[in-house]
Structure 1
Amino acid sequence: MNQLLEVSGLCVAYGGIEAVKGISLSIDKDEIVSLIGSNGAGKTTTLRAISGLLPCKSGKVSFQGKDITTLAPDARVRMRLAHVPEGRHVFPGLTIEENIKLGSYTRYDRKAIADDIEDMYQLFPILKERRKQQAGTMSGGEQQMLAIARAMMSRPELLILDEPTMGLSPKMIEVVLDTLREIRSRKTPILLVEQNTVEAIQMATRVYALRVGEIVSVLAGESVTEEVLKDFYLS
């Protein structure tokens, strides 16, 4: 069985308003799946419910064959589900290296942790150069690298990325795209929310298109072009 994540009939509400209305989706091992949709479609809400940051009104979330619908966020991290939120949310007063180490807080294999830190420095050389620098002094693109490195330190079975290219310069977008390609080459499954960078969406095996909290279409990633996105967002 290759299915890693299964979301069935997921409903999430803010007060009396349903932001996500009974959606179902799945991710297999070694797969990238993307969610697309305009602002307010329910993309971030879906990710936050999957990682336990928002409660589900109804429906079921299964990860690695286990029902995690009511599991606390830290317990999901221990199951190796990692979430890089929109806006990065690094710890600004801590150094880059301290931020990276925090990603391994559920682990106790000190030698492997040290090896993984070096691996992250290979993936993101700029982080090694500035490892003693406070994270809050970094650019948005550098903070995005740091947030991804921190998440990868948990050795995730599933990596959730929410708008990883948002607000970045074209040069930094290319760095993020290269990072996604590298993570894909390592066979780490990814659930990706991306709104503007077509190259990232095209890496996905499957793309779920959301509108007002509902899945309205399922597309092959390679079929998503800028024209498809424009038509979808403007329709």
Structure 2
Amino acid sequence: MDRLLNPAYHALTGPHADLAEARGRVRKYPVDVAPFLGLPDAPTPQDWADAAELVGAGHTVALMRPELPVPDVFKVEADFDLLQYAAPPSFGVVDPEVNVLGADDVPDMLALVALTDPGPFRARTIALGTYLGLRRDGELIAMAGERMHPTGYVEISAVCTHPDHRGQGLATRLLRAVAAGIEHTGAQPFLHTGGTNTTAIRLYESLGFTVTNRMKVTVLQPR
């Protein structure tokens, strides 16, 4: 299976193996890093049972891949459609104004995410890769960074701009700046957006991004 069809699993068994919590063949990110579960490309009943044990009763986890039948060991809490996009060749552009964000920036990052809701971002999400931001008068007004790293690819995520600073092209600048770092390593940038997020879809397609897969996020809880 193409690694992009199962990015969490191929990241957690590849470049993010040092972050993975494991049971049998199943992997997941720590809860303060990301909500994602990684199942093998063709999960067996034993894999699903191991996943339920790994997640634990009363906890939820997100599965990101094309729609997959869910056995009775889990109940589905929610699901929604995603579009997966690949960046065009040589998309990245180094931007001298952006700053690399570190641990001291996490409170500001969490505040910006709470205001803009670009998707899951937690206290240790910054451990997944490089995050870049733009500040004005000391305030973090826009950011983007790297999330899942299936071998040969790096996902751009947490693309967000403060509402007071939209319409200035900041998201595009950060997309290109993050992509430049990814391309420098020889990897291919890709990203996801909600299937009904027409604003993001228009932006990505205007920049030359192309759809690679139609994905589903399924939020699961062990029974």
TM over 0.5: no
Relative to the length of structure 1, the TM-score reads 0.30
- Richer in helix (by share): 1
Relative to the length of structure 2, the TM-score reads 0.31
- Richer in strand (by share): 2
